[in-house]
Amino acid sequence: MNDTECIFCKIARGELPAEKVYEDADTVAFLDIKPVNPGHTLIIPKAHYVNIFEAPEETLAKMMHTIKVVSHGIKDGLGIDNMNIGMNNGADSGQVVFHAHIHLMPRHKDDGYGLWHGKPYEPGQAHEVAEKIKKAL
């Protein structure tokens, strides 16, 4: 998909409506149309990158600045003291729109949502995995 077909690019360019809560020269923040809880906001770069692997470090840093600004707006404006921040990268991780985006998800006690379930490493597996990652860096 290119930026002329991408729904998030169209939102960034103002071609599709969205409830924008913040915008600067490089990023846009708007409410998710199917929120986990009210205030669930997406942060996107205006430039089209599919995911974290494509987006330049500078773009990710600009997105993080926007996350900091908007998270305070959610906290102060909605009285939210708990929030998950997440980014899905690839279809198997749950990415549906293939334009890099980060979710700010307000959370409340007993909101019915949980976290993913972890499982322990097999003996020696953690060291093996860590070595593979370090070797690839």
- HSE, side-chain direction, 13 A CA sphere, residue 101: 26
Active-site choice (40, 48, 99, 101): 101
Inter-CA distances, 93 with 38, 88, 98, 136, Å: 23, 5, 12, 21
**Three-state DSSP class for 116?**
coil
101 is catalytic: yes
Cα 56 from Cα 8, distance rounded (Å) = 18
Token output for 23? 């915008």
Q: Which residues are catalytic?
A: 101
